[in-house]
Chains A and B, each alone.
Chain A
Amino acid sequence: MSPRDPFSAPNITRRSFLVAGSLTGVAAFIAACGTSGTANTQTPTGTPAATAGASPAATAAPTPKPTTSAELNWANWTYYMDTDPNDATKFPTLEQFKTKYGTTVNYQEVIDDNDSFLGTIQPQLQHSQDTGWDIIVMTDWMAARIIRLGWAEKMDLGNMPNVTANLQDVYKDVTWDATNDHHVPWQSGMTGLGYDKAKTGALTSLAEFYDPKYKGKVDYLTEMRDTIGLTMLKLGLDPSKATRADCDKAIAEIKKAKDAGIIRAFKGNAYADDLRTGTIVLSMAWSGDMVQALIDKPSLAFTVGSEGGMLWTDNCMIPKGAKNKYTAEVMIDFCYDPKIAAQIEAGVNYICPNKGAADVLKANNPDAANNPLIFPPADILARLHIFVGLSEDDEKYFNDQFATVSGLG
């Protein structure tokens, strides 16, 4: 049993002291995006947070047959798990999991790029060997590729009652995992305008990225799908149906901005530091980063462009041949307990795919629950697009074009 009440106020990080936005939550999310028939605005299993502090158990205990292993190896992106506010090396969620199941989670923040991470495990996957990881977290286009190549274990949903009950419907039945059992969404995020409103005033249009008045003061993203996606939206093209011709148009537009000296650099998450230092005033930005950056510099703001924004999801997967498949399923399911999901969400600040988390947060961390960047309102969600799933050849084409325009050949 964890000595600390994981849901009491002191444990909620300072990120909760955020400007609250409009009152919206899960219901709106589903109302806006719900595609499957089951209309549900209720939160079925999310027990109110008042009783928190007790073991955050999933109501349905796992079947007794298999037992959880002593160790579990999880590769994730940096700052993608809640941490103890007094010691950033401690992860309350993982400690609670250990208390409950006796499993020590070897949690490593080693992913900072989909391609380069896959490069480190690809040879084992090709030779059907254990990669050393039981859970990996990959962005949807990469998850699709891994599933297509048969490199993801099929999960036993019977071991994952929380996932079944709490995964928002909008995430279900994607084309690349029709059976919903090769991936489980971890976090989602929006790509839009991150800017310093003290310097630019309030911005609404993606056209700002291509405006010469910000010459040398704009960062674009190194993530091809975000930069090309936003450019397509600016041009009135739909990134969820992008073709090579659309790609060419977008590349030409980016090249124009680059040649005009508007683009200062293509950056990963590092654009946030450029905004903080005042090096740039505007950047293509990810919602979760901007929630963080706001703490340092309140004049920063994040907006989804009026022309639209990008929506992406990072997903938990079990790589083929993983040693601790059952424990990995239990772990993922544990994180889908609405209380645990709320605890993670308060620390991570991206968009939560869990139905019950918003209600839990409303009770004990209303600032997070009401933050439009964490629980975006319907009108924003309606403007978001998911990048088209590319074939291997098209992907190579898009990547090549993007590498050229970003100076890498």
Chain B
Amino acid sequence: MSAAGAVIDRPGPTIGNRIFRFLDRYLLVIYTLAAVFYLMLPVLVMSMFSFNDPSGKSNVVWQGFSLNAWLHPFEVNGLQKAVTTSLGIAFLSTIIATALGTMIALALARHGFRGRAVTNLFIFLPMATPEIVLGASLLTLYVAIGVPPFFPLNFLTILIAHIMFNISYVVVTVRARLAGFPIHLEEAAMDLGANEWVTFWKVTFPLILPGVMAAALLAFSLSIDDFVITNFTGGTISQTFPMLIYAKTRIGVPPQVNVIGTIIFVTAVGLVAMSTLVSRAQAQRDQRVARRLTADEAAAA
């Protein structure tokens, strides 16, 4: 126990308390830093091997520094197409799943209706089903249909799967934001003569936008990284980036794949940082608006 600690803290009566206090003060900080290091370590290794200079097709042993993969990131057969496919599926599934999921979240959070409990369970089910079962069962459906556009497996069959597993996550995320929603703002707008439609776009939507953005980000990251479900629903015509990585693990993952992985990581980090800043600014503005509205209401009264 350090002298400084003894001055600030009241002396604790038990050994358990002393240990806990010590852990609380010093170990937690060290622990947190160690945990962050543990979490980041594989990402660092991945990025490091994007600068490797492998002599053959394999990239598992460090052989020397090279910028080659960064200068020629798409010089791997199928890589560019796979990245494009992944991005396309991620964008489309994010937009559609976010729209569908936000609507469900609004209904669940704002309206009382028959079948709420069933709906809640139904939303939870896809999250409670292991990915392999989701993918495999969709595959059996596609194979049973056996005709285009569901077979041969293609871009559309992957997209359908991604929208499916993303909806639940969007619902959950948007709902969390709706939980503390200031309903009186909507009521105020309606009192002022706005109809539901106008109220939704002018009041409700801007207020839930940060939640919707967070949901969209989550959906995007789930989609772009999904391998298990995609591997079942993807077939051979459309190959996504994770499918390509998996295929390459059999013979050797070229450093270009690490380059793309690093770029996706940096971009995602940048996007999240940006959205955090934007939503913080927005929250501040919301607060100002709310304060002014309350003041106006008070003045009107």
Question: Bound state CA distance, A185 and B235, in angstroms?
Answer: 25
Contacts of A14 in B (CB 8 A): 55
Separation in Å of the B150 CB from the closest CB of chain A?
10
Shortest distance between the CB of B77 and any CB in chain A (Å): 5
- Residue of A with least CB distance to B59: A273
Using known A-B contacts A88-B76, A108-B78, A108-B236, determine if residue A79 contacts B152 with beta carbons closer than 8 Å. Answer: no
- Segment at the B interface, from A264-272, A374-382, A396-404: A264-272
Q: Which residues of A contact B151 (CB under 8 A)?
A: 123-124
Cα-based distance from A88 to B256 in the complex (angstroms): 11
Whether the Cβ atoms of A112 and B61 lie closer than 8 Å is no
Instruction: Determine the distance from Cα of A296 to Cα of B54 in the docked complex, in whole angstroms.
Output: 8
A89 touches B236 (CB 8 A): no
Known: A112-B247, A117-B236, A269-B250. A277 touches B75 (CB 8 A): no
**Most central of B74, B151, B248, B254 by chain A CB within 10 Å:** B151
Residues of A near B77 (CB, < 8 A) are 83, 88-89, 91, 107, 109
**Interface presence of A34 (CB below 8 A):** no
Docked pose: A180 CA to B55 CA in angstroms: 40
- Known A-B contacts A75-B236, A295-B55, A296-B61; A121 and B152 likewise in contact (beta carbons under 8 Å): yes
- Judging by beta carbons under 8 Å apart, are A273 and B56 in contact? no
Q: Does A1 contact B (CB under 8 A)?
A: no
**B residues less than 8 Å from A112 (CB atoms):** 247, 250
- A103: chain B residues at CB < 8 Å are none
Q: Is the CB of B153 within 8 A of A120?
A: yes
CB-contacts of B239-277 with A (<8 A): 239, 247-252, 254
Q: How far is the CB of B24 from chain A (nearest CB, A)?
A: 42
Assess the B248–A296 pair: CB atoms within 8 A: no
Interface residue SS majority, chain A: mixed
Distance A405 CA – B251 CA, assembled complex (angstroms): 24
Q: Do B58 and A269 touch (CB < 8 A)?
A: no
Q: B235: which A residues are within 8 A, CB to CB?
A: 120
Cβ of B6 within 8 Å of any chain A Cβ, yes or no, is: no
- In the complex, A276→B54 CA distance in Å? 11
Contact B248 A78 (CB under 8 A): yes
Assess whether B57 is interfacial by the CB under 8 Å rule: yes
Determine if B60 is an interface residue (Cβ-Cβ < 8 Å).
yes
| Complex alpha-carbon distance, A107 and B236, angstroms | 12
In the complex, how many angstroms separate the beta carbon of A15 from the nearest chain B beta carbon?
A: 9
Distance in angstroms from A408 CB to nearest chain B CB is: 14
- B-side interface residues toward A, CB under 8 Å? 54-58, 60-61, 63, 72, 74-80, 143, 146-147, 151-153, 235-237, 239, 247-252, 254
Listed A/B pairs (8) with beta-carbon separation below 8 Å:
A79-B57, A87-B72, A89-B75, A89-B76, A91-B77, A123-B151, A268-B250, A272-B251
